[in-house]
């Protein structure tokens, strides 16, 4: 029985993050960009179909018509009352699976295969879904509650109804009002494009935020005993960074020890979400995930110590060919205690540029950005740059990460979807905003934006077209002088002005960039479209309206 | 006077290679892809205008109408005869510049500024152009001779007429008849696409050839005393590789010493000309250069010794931050004795993958491919992989290379055109050939081709569309198992079959690839077009005709 349970739980965990990511079209809490997961197995197990088709299907079939609804209300009054003890018997190994929500009891057995989040629902089998919904608040919509009511079998004994959970996000930090919030809980927000190009290094307050869970509570003061079990409570002075070697040896360091022990380095480096410009790809054809516009990217100067130095100090031979990957774990843990994690190849990890940072633009890293320690992996996608870093593990294997860019209708070929590490060349206009109205009499329009490419490949040219790509003109570029074109991890800002084309009422400003390896961007999403809306780097187009 | 001359010569050499490359639209001898040069200065000096506009202009203005021609013929009979002594007085520092060709004497003073090859013409000032035209045979057209006659001022004394030059290319090796010759002298030929994908490693006989000059005569037997001054005569057993350090120290090695002294490595690596698929870009908008189709690329297994080991042995600290570039010189020298050369960054040069090779696919490197030694720079453009290697020099500076991808009409921003080192992601269909007729009854079409990207970025996916890019399907890929996706220098071959779309008389097969950094290809040349037709990597389209 125990074995059976373990297997079920094992199976469950293989699926959970996957379903998390495919839960809803336009999901508010998708974690798809950024995680260590078991996507491959989940996908192969047919979860894709559930995730992508299941939502629509159950929305259609489960929607109750008015007559049915009235009937249900009558039925509800006559439903039996159950004690928590009884509910508990209908756990994940039972024939019929029950859950409770507030004072409702539901038999969800027939719903499990339709759950957009897959059998993650089993986490609450025989118990309350309330603590989970506290974290994944997208459940709290009229539509979802209506569906749930379709599975109602009774009421919960009032003495067993869970007390309202404290909001796991209530201890999140204050944020700058200029941030463009794409999701409140967990907090995901873009930098304001109108301010972004004013600063070569993005002020910390305006740096885009990509959180998967409540912000770990690293600044709690002594004596503050709020008991929020969903947030790991650590004090900066108590924070420890642990390094695990292949032969099981472990060392750990306080933040102060880390600062004193190793030489510090400062590097300008971009962090960009793999989902940046997803909304743009969604215009081409519907995709799933948080609808980032074009500023899920920022640039900061990070100060910290070389990862290589820490590894060497832990007795790890960074040229040991057995070690393929270095894994990172954050303090942000989900309700089951699983931390956010990611890995990078050892070859990258031993490079000059990879640091464990404690300063962001010259001050302690703010809570939203990984206080007290964050690994900075210049040239790689944001997902690898684990915040609230608490553990480093060297391994023969890559973190089981999934970053597909797979076209619908195509067979899934798993060897064709390695994890995203380095990023391709990207470029976007920040100002003017789309649909800005300009006076023809002004003659010209001022343009600003950013460009960046992964792997340290500096931007060598940025070009603008106002005639649909027929002709192009180069932009003035602002770059980090300390970085050469082969090791350019900071971004390139650009500014230029273009003449308003004669005789048109509207036109598109198009921007594109070229990186040091002469990589360029595709014209549209047609060759790069993928259902998860990742790595959209087609030419950026901003429509402008001309007032005569 | 001497100072003046030196300055003039210096100025001259700053221009020469530039003009060489821009000499003719559709030039048969353009060196634009592959060289160490002084393009920047030349371009800035306005040479671009001469190169690009001059050709057309002088073609228009210098073309003689019939009446004028008759008049000229009469004039010719009455022209004076000059001795070589007299011609010599009209050298490059004279007021009027004369040259001779065969028995003609020409005052070319007024032509110099229109010469597509720039003041390279001054090389022959006061003397015969014959030895130069022997190398640059594109002069020998009716049109050019006609223009020259327009400048005729006399006849050369018969005793001074140069003897016919031995053809500098007469000692070039035999070639396989399947090679598709794009230029005979110097020899430039593509691999036959119909055979290319039959072999993961291209047989040496079918490997594409990109020569700038006659093939150095490394296999000359003792006692063979042909006196061809345009070809460096070396015997393999006498060949020396010289390494020059920054402090002037020089070591040199015979091929045998090199083989014995250092450990040997074998690596599969592509060589691709920067002009590959130029003809395809020319379809989008006219470009200049040798009209390579899609197979100026091949893949071989190279065996040699690590460049790093040689440098270290010469006492060079490969981590010395003062050393920025490693330069290579070939044995192929132009009529002035200037060797072909190129450089790569020291960071690349000290990598595991860069070798000085002596074997190509298991046998001595054939003459056309650099016998006896060629530097192999995996992941970089062909131009850096200097053949007939005779000298290695470490330097603070990059070889003055120019590899623009500049749009016409745009201001030239020199910091935006660094040399091409790594190559962006490339993909092309080899079979079927364009305009192949297929039977609808066959139902499907078999497709094969190659994909490759620079910097060791392996190909992770190749996709085919037959509906203009609306939908895509993945291809089966053949790759070098010894290379991982982060260090993949060999190419990827692909094979697939597609269904013939119903109800069409013709359709395009489109192929595109994605590399390990998720770089993709642009849809068309519209964002990458450049006057030199370099690095064309837009989606490859092959039109197919359907027979019902």
Pairing of strands A444-452, B264-272: unpaired
Q: With 90 as the cut, is the pLDDT of residue A138 above it?
A: no
Which pLDDT band holds residue A116 (cuts at 50, 70, 90)? confident
Pair A27, A289: CB distance under 8 Å: yes
Which pLDDT band holds residue B436 (cuts at 50, 70, 90)? very high
Across A79-93, A127-141, B218-232, B358-372, least confident range? B218-232
Residue of A nearest to B455 (CA): A517
Across A95-104, A133-142, B494-503, least confident range? A133-142
What CATH code would you report for A81-156? 3.10.120.10
Q: Which residues of A touch B519 (CB under 8 A)?
A: 424-425, 517, 519
Average pLDDT over residues B311-336: 90
Could you tell me what percent of chain A has a pLDDT over 90?
61
Q: With 90 as the cut, is the pLDDT of residue A254 above it?
A: yes
Could you tell me what percent of chain A has a pLDDT over 70?
79
Name which of B384, B517, B523, B525 to mutate to probe chain A: the one with the most chain A Cβ atoms within 10 A of its Cβ: B517
Q: Say if the Cβ atoms of A469 and B345 lie within 8 Å.
A: no
Across A247-261, B36-50, B226-240, B354-368, least confident range? B36-50
Q: What number of C-beta contacts closer than 8 Å exist between A and B?
A: 126
Whole-number Å distance between alpha carbons of B59 and B23:
13
341-380 in chain B: CB under 8 A from chain A: 345, 347
Q: Does A514 touch chain B (CB under 8 A)?
A: yes
Rounded to two decimals, what is the model's pTM? 0.74
Q: Which residues of A touch B521 (CB under 8 A)?
A: 522, 527
| pLDDT at position A141 | 81
Domain ranges of chain B: 81-156, 180-221+233-395, 425-546
Average pLDDT over residues A97-113: 92
Q: With 60 as the cut, is the pLDDT of residue A19 above it?
A: no
Q: Does B413 touch chain A (CB under 8 A)?
A: yes
Higher pLDDT, residue B168 or A54: B168
Q: Compute the half-sphere exposure of residue B95: CA atoms within 13 Å on the CB side of its CA.
A: 0
What token pair was written down for B136? 């640059």
**Cβ neighbours of residue B540 closer than 8 Å, sequence gap 6 or more:** B277, B280, B294, B427, B428, B429, B449, B510, B511, B512
| pLDDT at position B58 | 35
Q: Say if the Cβ atoms of A471 and B517 lie within 8 Å.
A: no
Residue B372: is the preceding peptide bond cis (ω within 30°)? Answer: yes
Torsion of CA A346, A350, A353, A358, to 10 degrees: 90
Rounded to 5 degrees, φ, ψ at B336 are -90, 0
Instruction: Please check whether the two domains, A81-156 and A180-221+233-395, share a CATH topology.
Output: no
Could you tell me what percent of chain B has a pLDDT over 70?
79
Name the residue among B388, B426, B382 with its Cα closest to residue B401: B382
| pLDDT at position A303 | 98
Q: With 60 as the cut, is the pLDDT of residue B41 above it?
A: no
Q: Does A416 touch chain B (CB under 8 A)?
A: yes
Indicate the residue of A424, A470, A485 with minimum beta-carbon distance to B519. A424
Q: Say if the Cβ atoms of B461 and A518 lie within 8 Å.
A: no
| pLDDT at position A308 | 97
- Chain-wide mean pLDDT for chain B? 82
Which pLDDT band holds residue B400 (cuts at 50, 70, 90)? low
To 10 degrees, what angle do helices A142-149 and A55-62 make? 60
Average pLDDT over residues B540-545: 98
What are B466-495's pLDDT values in tens digits?
Answer: 999 999 999 999 999 999 999 999 999 999
Which pLDDT band holds residue B402 (cuts at 50, 70, 90)? very low
What CA–CA distances, in Å, run from B77 to A336, B72, B81, B146, B151?
Answer: 102, 9, 10, 16, 14
Q: Which residues of B touch A411 (CB under 8 A)?
A: 473-474
What token pair was written down for A307? 């990862």
| pLDDT at position B416 | 55
Nearest chain A CA: its distance from B44 CA (Å): 17
| pLDDT at position B118 | 74
Pair B401, B243: CB distance under 8 Å: no
Indicate the residue of B422, B486, B523 with minimum beta-carbon distance to A524. B523
Average pLDDT over residues A307-327: 94
* Topology of domain A425-546, CATH: Immunoglobulin-like (2.60.40)
Q: Say if the Cβ atoms of A523 and B526 lie within 8 Å.
A: yes
What token pair was written down for A206? 């305006």
Q: With 50 as the cut, is the pLDDT of residue A51 above it?
A: no
| pLDDT at position A232 | 54
* Topology of domain B180-221+233-395, CATH: Sulfite Oxidase; Chain A, domain 2 (3.90.420)
């Amino acid at each position: 029985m125990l074995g059976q349970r373990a297997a079920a739980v094992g199976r469950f965990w293989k699926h959970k993050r996957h379903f998390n990511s495919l839960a809803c079209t336009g999901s508010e809490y998708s974690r798809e960009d950024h995680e260590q997961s078991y996507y491959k197995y989940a996908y192969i197990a047919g979860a894709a179909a559930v995730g992508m088709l299941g939502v629509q299907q159950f929305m259609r079939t489960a929607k109750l018509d008015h007559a049915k609804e009235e009937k249900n209300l009558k039925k509800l009054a006559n439903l039996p009352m159950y004690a928590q003890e009884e509910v508990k018997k209908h756990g994940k190994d039972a024939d019929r699976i029950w859950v409770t929500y507030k004072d409702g009891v539901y038999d969800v057995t027939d719903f499990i295969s339709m759950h957009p989040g897959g059998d993650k629902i089993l986490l609450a089998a025989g118990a309350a879904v309330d603590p989970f919904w506290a974290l994944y608040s997208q459940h709290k919509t009229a539509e979802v509650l209506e569906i749930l009511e379709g599975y109602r079998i009774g009421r919960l004994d009032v003495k067993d109804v869970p007390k309202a959970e404290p909001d796991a996000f209530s201890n999140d930090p204050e944020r700058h009002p200029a941030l463009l919030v794409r999701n409140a809980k967990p907090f995901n927000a873009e930098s304001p494009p109108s301010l972004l190009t004013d600063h070569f290094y993005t002020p910390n307050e305006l740096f885009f935020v990509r959180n998967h869970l409540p912000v770990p509570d690293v600044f709690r003061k002594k004596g503050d005993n709020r008991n929020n079990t969903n947030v790991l409570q650590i004090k900066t002075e108590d924070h420890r960074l642990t390094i695990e070697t292949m032969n099981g040896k472990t060392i750990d360091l306080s933040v102060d020890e880390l600062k004193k022990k190793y030489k510090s380095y400062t590097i300008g480096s971009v962090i960009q979400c793999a989902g940046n410009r997803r909304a743009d790809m969604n215009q081409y054809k519907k995709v799933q995930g948080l609808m980032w516009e074009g500023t899920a990217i920022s640039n900061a100067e990070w100060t910290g110590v070389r990862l290589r130095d820490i590894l060497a100090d832990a007795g790890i031979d960074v040229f040991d060919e057995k070690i393929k990957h270095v894994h990172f774990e954050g303090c942000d843990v989900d309700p089951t205690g699983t931390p956010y994690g990611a890995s990078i190849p050892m070859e990258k990890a031993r490079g000059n540029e990879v640091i464990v940072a404690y300063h962001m633009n010259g001050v302690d890293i703010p809570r939203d950005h990984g206080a007290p320690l964050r690994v900075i992996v210049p040239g790689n996608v944001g997902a690898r740059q684990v915040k609230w870093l608490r553990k480093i593990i060297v391994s023969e294997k890559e973190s089981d990460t999934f970053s597909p860019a797979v076209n619908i209708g195509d067979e899934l070929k798993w060897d064709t979807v390695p994890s995203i590490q380095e990023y391709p060349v990207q470029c976007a206009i920040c100002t003017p905003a789309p649909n800005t109205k300009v006076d023809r009499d002004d003659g010209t329009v001022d343009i600003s934006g950013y460009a960046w490419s992964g792997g340290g490949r500096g931007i060598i040219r940025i070009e603008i077209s106002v005639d649909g790509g027929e002709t192009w003109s180069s932009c003035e570029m602002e770059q980090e002088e300390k970085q050469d074109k082969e090791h350019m991890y900071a971004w390139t800002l650009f500014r230029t002005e273009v003449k308003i084309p004669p005789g048109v009422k509207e036109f598109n400003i198009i921007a594109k960039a070229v990186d040091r390896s002469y990589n360029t961007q595709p014209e549209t999403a047609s060759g790069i479209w993928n259902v998860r809306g990742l790595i959209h780097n087609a030419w950026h187009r901003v429509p402008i309206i001309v007032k005569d």
